[in-house]
Amino acid sequence: MPSLVRFSSSRVAEVVPDLERTPEPDEVLIRTLYSGISAGTELTAYRGSNPYLNKRWDDDSRLFVDGDTSISYPVDGWGYEEVGEVVSLGSSAEGVSVGDVIWGTWGHRSHTVKKASWAAGRILDATVDPRIGIFSQIGGIALNLVLDADIHIGETVAVFGLGVPGQLAAQLARLNGGRVIAVDNLPARRELALELGAEVALDPADGGVAERIRELTDGRGADVCLEVSGNYRALHEAVRSVAYSSRVCVAGFMQGDGVGLRLGEEFHHNRIALICSQISGVAPSLQHRWNYDRLARTAIQLAAEKRLNVTDLITHTVPMALAADAFQMLDERPEEALQVVLSFDEEVTA
């Protein structure tokens, strides 16, 4: 029986039956192997803080408006980090075979039906670890952030927040020629960032992050800061840490009011540019060459070529039946995990 993860209400996750579908002639049925949990955006839906649960997004005006909501509980099959195996084909499906491993986005569900043409463009190399496939969107998000940052060889890049997207962005910044300073309050995440190539790792609890970054850059400050924590105080420190007339690129999903962000200080006096990096689009100067598909494909290719290390970010693999426990851990004890993966075959490992 197909199944999916449902957020029944705020902070309540459960596994429930899903509809069973038979592929149309031009479709394929995919059985999910692994599905990754996003500890950022996805947790906002689990917790109930996502603005789509509290306001309505108006496509025409591109504004959030009061009075209604875009989504409401129960929320079924949230998730965007999936990889699965083709188990059956429609009668006219082409370009894909039973047994092919497909990466993409279809939420925390045991099965999905997709167009054969869609699946054919997302076949994972059979020689690589299939778990690489869950990093297509989160890898694309990190790559989009690095493209927005416009990093040049020899520049210093400070990364605030070393969760999964921050770890990926730090690696990609190095591939782009940057010298990386990593900032996070969790020792294990700082240590991992150093292992994956960051030059320096700073603990904000020690204070003086901006001052330390200036010491490391001959008083200049970072050439660019990447904010991936979703924390307003971290964003403020990123603004303090960047060089005069430079930019801070923000991919963290900020929640609520901006407590701790003081725009009348360094932001105003140092002419800092704040750039929002969000996966729905790319920088205007790149739109004729880059789009979401290219971002995702590039992330998968870099991981398959072992130029981007993704599997070392996985700390827990949990059977889908225990999805509620996984979400509770990420919500209440985030320091215990980095990338949590739901498995559809394996026992609990950590």
Q: Quick one: average pLDDT of 328-340? A: 96
**Co-location of 39 and 157 in the same domain:** no
Q: Are residues 217 and 261 in the same domain?
A: yes
Distance CA 116, CA 95 (A): 7
In a domain, residue 305? The reply is no
Residues 23 and 81 in one domain: yes
CA distance 228 to 101: 30
- 142 domain residue, yes or no: yes
Which value, in Å, is the radius of gyration of the alpha carbons in the chain?
21
| Domain interval for residue 88 | 3-127+310-343
Indicate whether 133 belongs to any domain.
Answer: no
What pLDDT is recorded for position 345? Answer: 80
Residues 142, 267 within the same domain: yes
Mean pLDDT of 118-140: 97
Supply the pTM of this predicted model: 0.95
149/247 same-domain check: yes
Neighbours of 235 (CB within 10 A): 24
Q: Are residues 277 and 143 in the same domain?
A: yes
Query: How would residue 346 be classed by pLDDT, with cut points 50, 70 and 90?
Result: very low
Predicted local confidence at residue 78, as pLDDT: 92
Nearest residue to 261 via CA among 292, 288, 290, 230: 230
Strand partners of residue 27: 115
Torsion of CA 59, 65, 68, 70, to 10 degrees: 40
Considering the domain architecture, whether residues 13 and 119 belong to the same structural domain is answered as yes
Instruction: State the average pLDDT over residues 38-46.
Output: 93
pLDDT at 350 over 90: no
Mean pLDDT of the residues in the chain: 95
CATH of the domain at 33: 3.90.180.10
Which percentage of the chain shows pLDDT scores above 70? 99
Based on the domain organization, do 146 and 259 belong to the same domain? yes
How many domains does the chain contain in total?
2
Instruction: Give DSSP secondary structure letters for 248-309.
Output: EEE-S---SS-TT--TTTHHHHTTPEEEE--TT---GGGTTT--HHHHHHHHHHHHHTTSS-
Residue 66 lies inside a defined structural domain of this protein: yes
Q: Determine if the peptide bond prior to 74 is cis (ω within 30°).
A: yes
- Give the pLDDT band (50/70/90) at residue 347: very low
CATH code, domain with 246: 3.40.50.720
Residue 300 lies in a domain: no
Same domain for 25 and 50? Answer: yes
Residue 35 domain-assigned (yes or no): yes
Assess if residue 250 is contained within a domain.
Answer: yes
Average pLDDT of the residues in 169-184:
98
On whether residue 100 sits in a domain, the answer given is yes
Mean pLDDT throughout 49-73? 94
**144 and 272 part of one domain:** yes
Question: Could you report the per-residue pLDDT of 248-290, keeping only the tens digit for each?
Answer: 999 999 998 999 999 999 999 999 999 999 999 999 999 999 9
For residue 144, pLDDT over 80 is answered with: yes
Residue where one domain finishes, among candidates 284, 301, 332: 284
